[in-house]
């Protein structure tokens, strides 16, 4: 007898992709896709059940379908379509509570996978440079999605204590990027000019959508020999990109603003309801966040196919170049290189000297940005 | 090197009990090292006379031949600012081409940083070149005992901290990079204040510094990096001028347990000259509290002359790296033993303090 997998949050791109992917797994018999709104994308051969996980009906769905694996993907930062922040928070927190309550009552459930985020670590100047799964944050997130994620993880820990027979995996994903990602950070990078915080160059880490799907699949299946897929894992691509690097690779100019101005502008934009430029987002873009992924490699036994830089490249490829495409910049530099230096090989040391100093100055000026 | 032998701390060492002293036995080093230790032993009763022989060791005499080698060794990648009159026309052109390719890489974001945000290329080619004039011409830093720093693998350099502004850390980083044959990068552990300030935090991260916490230090040592720590912290850097060269308390000795857990050697380092760059005669505590900084220095020049008062005095510096204290011989549970921790902390502290005294006795004047 194969597995019956119940997936929440399938109206989103990520949930839809995951549902389509696990149907191809031989050990999966049936996939039940749950969300409050019908998805716009197709779900393959999965059974879609329209149910709001904030309501107790989810318990009935779980009991009727006899699902043995629950993959909870409905923990997200942004609303789908025209939802308010309150709805998102309710879905995240109350929805998780209802779902966990339903799981607790269902004897069939053997495995629970919860999508969380590295935002649970917060980001502050007093934090260590690299977070491991056991690092406790110096300052807990005060609100927004980060706080939801912390609360969700708290409930999941409680559930794991009450139902020790269920294998629970909490996956803390770094910023998810990729061709179809619709995370707040993807919206940020889509702006023609990137506002940054003056005097800070945060370290960012990305994880590719494909890797997210693959990790979710590993976590929802039986563990491979020599690996363990229950516990808490940081999931991120190798390496780190600085925000300045990201903007240069995207070819989008940055506008450094003072931190109070950014905070003020962020709250203004939020009030107007244009984008979710939340305080935690600003903190991420101020201090950055990097997590250690040893547990993912050694315990979960997964090696991401995309590094942080490759993920970003894939994202940039789809988004198209910005106002200052890197190729154009490189060509401009090459033209400067081709122009004045050929003639003076014989003499004109003074001219050479001035060019040299100019180059040095330009280099340093470039560094200042 | 070997300075700790000058003033014996046998009482301390016997208390350390199981502490291995392999550095004494280890005569497998180069012949030069043997020679030096012989010299020191000969000099033992009178430390004051040790200077002439000591000076021959690393210092500036060896530095000039090394410097051009370095700038030409990198295939045209060195930024022109280090030595513009260096080679002929070919060398110059190569250098310009190097500068342009550097510029191109920077502008297109095609460079790498590590998990801590350390940008090796930027540090080597821009930041170091900016600080080097201060290091070579202004403070005329003299480096001793560079051979105590291992060629590879993790090591923890523990130094005294002074000078109101943390210039000593920066100078130590340049000293290690420019004098060590492997041009190793020193990864300094800095106070959280550094990472709160705009611009400063960006530069510090790019230069390879990180927050002084056990997690970061251990991660760096695990990766085989050279880590620099100044355990006195603000107590050391913000002490009044009258307390100069008196080591303050070494925190809780967390650096020792970090080194023990990673089995990394501890290299004591003494810096002379940094104390006098900003003689701090007063501390405006109220103002400091208002600004949210640990101290607000008042020097004979600082608030009075405005920005001009922020120019450091051109003192002559000496940085001496001492003999490594090995930590790999201890059992794994040793890192939990508070007594061993205190003993090792004291040992490191005494070694730095006595090297400081020795260097001070040898010093002719503050400025020359």
Q: How far is B196 from chain A (nearest CA, A)?
A: 6
Tokens describing residue B212? 């002084």
**Contact partners, residue B34, CB within 8 Å, separation at least 6:** B27
Q: Cα–Cα distance between A190 and B308 in angstroms, integer? A: 45
Q: Which of A128, A330, A337 sits opposite B213 (nearest CB)?
A: A128
Does residue A264 fall inside a structural domain? no
Indicate the Cα dihedral angle A44, A45, A47, A48, nearest 10°.
Answer: 20
Interchain contact, B199 vs A349, CB within 8 Å: no
Would an 8 Å CB–CB cutoff place A263 in contact with chain B?
no
B3-57+114-277+312-362 — its CATH code?
3.40.1130
Does residue A354 fall inside a structural domain? yes
Residue-averaged pLDDT of chain B? 80
Tokens describing residue B113? 């940083």
Q: Cα–Cα distance between B227 and B210 in angstroms, integer? A: 10
Chain-centroid distance, C-alpha B341: 22
Q: Where are the beta strands (DSSP E) in A298-352?
A: none
Identify the band that residue A139 occupies on the pLDDT scale cut at 50, 70 and 90. Answer: confident
What pLDDT score was predicted for residue A176? 93
Interchain contact, A326 vs B109, CB within 8 Å: yes
Q: Cα–Cα distance between B229 and A215 in angstroms, integer? A: 39
In chain A, the number of structural domains is 1
pLDDT tens, residue by residue, A223-234: 888 888 899 999
What pLDDT score was predicted for residue B231? 93
Whether the Cβ atoms of residue A99 and residue A61 lie closer than 8 Å to each other:
no
ipTM: 0.84
DSSP A291: B
Q: Give the residue numbers spanning the domain of A360.
A: 344-369
Pairing status of strand B210-211 against strand B226-229: unpaired
Identify the residue with better confidence: B6 or A52.
A52
Interchain contact, A330 vs B104, CB within 8 Å: yes
Phi then psi dihedrals of residue A75, to 5 deg: -120, 100
Tokens describing residue B185? 């990068």
Q: How many cross-chain Cβ pairs, A to B, lie less than 8 Å apart?
A: 143
- Mean pLDDT (whole number) for A206-211: 94
Would an 8 Å CB–CB cutoff place A244 in contact with chain B?
yes
Give the predicted TM-score (pTM) of the model: 0.80
Domain boundaries, chain B: 3-57+114-277+312-362
What pLDDT score was predicted for residue B89? 67
**Contact partners, residue B119, CB within 8 Å, separation at least 6:** A242, B111, B112, B113, B206, B207
Does residue A5 fall inside a structural domain? no
Inform me whether the pLDDT recorded for B9 exceeds 80. Answer: no
Q: How far is A360 from chain B (nearest CA, A)?
A: 7
Q: Cα–Cα distance between A157 and A131 in angstroms, integer? A: 19
Whether the Cβ atoms of residue B5 and residue B40 lie closer than 8 Å to each other:
yes
Please report residues of B whose CB lies closer than 8 A to that of A126.
Answer: 192, 195, 211
Interchain contact, A248 vs B196, CB within 8 Å: no
CA-angle at A195, arms to A189 and A198, nearest 5°: 130
Does residue A89 fall inside a structural domain? no
What pLDDT score was predicted for residue B19? 41
Chain-centroid distance, C-alpha B172: 3
Phi then psi dihedrals of residue A220, to 5 deg: -90, -10
Would an 8 Å CB–CB cutoff place A355 in contact with chain B?
yes
Mean pLDDT lowest for which of A1-5, A199-203, B152-156?
A1-5
Stretch 68-127 of chain A: residues touching chain B, C-beta under 8 Å? 125-127
């Amino acid at each position: 007898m194969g597995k019956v997998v119940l997936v929440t949050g399938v109206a989103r791109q990520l949930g839809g992709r995951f549902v389509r992917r696990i149907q191809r797994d031989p050990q999966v018999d049936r996939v039940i896709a749950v969300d409050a709104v019908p998805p716009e994308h197709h779900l393959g051969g999965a059974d879609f059940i329209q149910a709001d996980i904030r309501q107790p009906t989810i318990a009935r769905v779980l009991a009727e379908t006899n699902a043995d694996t629950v993959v909870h993907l409905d923990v997200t930062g942004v609303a789908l379509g025209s939802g308010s922040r309150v709805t998102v928070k309710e879905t995240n927190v109350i929805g998780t509570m209802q779902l966990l309550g339903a799981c607790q009552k269902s004897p069939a459930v053997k495995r629970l996978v919860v999508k969380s985020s590295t935002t649970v670590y917060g980001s502050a100047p007093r934090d260590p440079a690299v977070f491991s799964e056991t690092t406790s944050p110096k300052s807990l997130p005060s609100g927004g999605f980060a706080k939801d994620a912390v609360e969700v993880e708290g409930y999941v820990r409680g559930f794991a204590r009450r139902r020790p027979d269920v294998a629970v995996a909490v996956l803390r994903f770094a910023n998810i990027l990729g061709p179809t990602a619709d995370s707040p950070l993807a919206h940020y990078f889509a702006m023609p000019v990137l506002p940054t915080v003056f005097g800070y160059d945060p370290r960012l880490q990305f994880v590719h959508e494909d890797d997210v799907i693959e990790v979710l699949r590993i976590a929802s299946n039986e563990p491979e020999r020599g690996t363990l897929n229950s516990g808490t894992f940081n999931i991120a691509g190798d390496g780190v990109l600085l925000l300045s690097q990201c903007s240069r690779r995207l070819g989008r100019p940055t506008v450094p603003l003072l931190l109070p101005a950014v905070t003020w502008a962020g709250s203004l934009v939020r009030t107007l309801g244009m984008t979710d430029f939340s305080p935690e987002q600003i903190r991420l873009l101020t201090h950055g966040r990097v997590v250690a992924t040893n547990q993912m490699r050694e315990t979960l036994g997964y090696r991401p196919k995309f590094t942080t830089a490759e993920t970003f490249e894939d994202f940039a490829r789809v988004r198209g170049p910005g106002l200052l495409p890197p190729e154009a910049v490189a060509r401009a530099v090459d033209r400067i290189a081709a122009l004045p230096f050929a003639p003076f090989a014989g003499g004109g040391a003074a001219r050479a000297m001035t060019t040299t100093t100019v180059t040095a100055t330009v280099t340093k000026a470039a560094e200042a940005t | 090197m070997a300075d700790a032998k000058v003033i014996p701390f046998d009482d301390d060492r016997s208390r350390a009990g199981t502490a291995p002293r392999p550095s004494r036995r280890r005569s497998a080093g180069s012949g030069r090292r043997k020679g030096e230790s012989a010299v020191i032993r000969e000099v033992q009763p009178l430390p004051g006379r040790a200077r002439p022989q000591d000076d021959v060791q690393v210092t500036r005499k060896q530095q000039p031949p090394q410097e051009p080698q370095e700038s030409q060794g990198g295939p045209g990648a060195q930024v022109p600012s280090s030595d513009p009159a260096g080679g002929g026309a070919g060398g110059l052109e190569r250098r310009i081409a190097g500068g342009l390719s550097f510029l191109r890489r920077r502008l297109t974001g095609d460079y790498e940083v590590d998990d801590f945000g350390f940008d090796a290329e930027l540090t080597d080619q821009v930041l170091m070149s900016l600080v080097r004039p201060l290091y070579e011409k202004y403070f005329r830093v003299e480096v001793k005992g560079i051979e105590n720093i291992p060629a590879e693998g993790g090591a923890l350099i523990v130094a005294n901290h002074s000078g109101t502004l943390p210039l000593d850390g920066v100078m130590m980083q340049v000293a290690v990079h420019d004098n060590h044959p492997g041009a190793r990068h020193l990864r300094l552990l800095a106070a959280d204040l550094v990472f709160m300030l705009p611009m400063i935090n960006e530069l510090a991260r790019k230069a390879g510094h990180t927050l002084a916490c056990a997690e970061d230090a251990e991660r760096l040592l695990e990766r085989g990096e050279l880590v620099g720590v100044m355990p006195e912290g603000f107590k050391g850097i913000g002490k009044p001028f009258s307390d100069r060269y008196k080591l303050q308390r070494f925190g809780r000795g967390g650096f020792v347990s970090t080194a023990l857990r990673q089995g990394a050697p501890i290299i004591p380092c003494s810096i002379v000259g940094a104390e006098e760059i900003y003689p701090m005669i007063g501390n405006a505590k109220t103002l400091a509290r208002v600004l949210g900084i640990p101290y607000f220095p008042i020097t004979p020049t600082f608030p009075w002359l405005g920005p001009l008062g922020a120019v450091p005095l051109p003192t002559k510096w000496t940085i001496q790296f001492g003999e490594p204290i090995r930590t790999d011989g201890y059992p794994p549970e040793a890192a939990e033993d508070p007594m061993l921790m205190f003993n090792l902390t004291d040992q490191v502290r005494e070694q730095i303090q006595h090297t400081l005294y020795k260097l001070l006795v040898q010093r002719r004047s503050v400025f020359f």
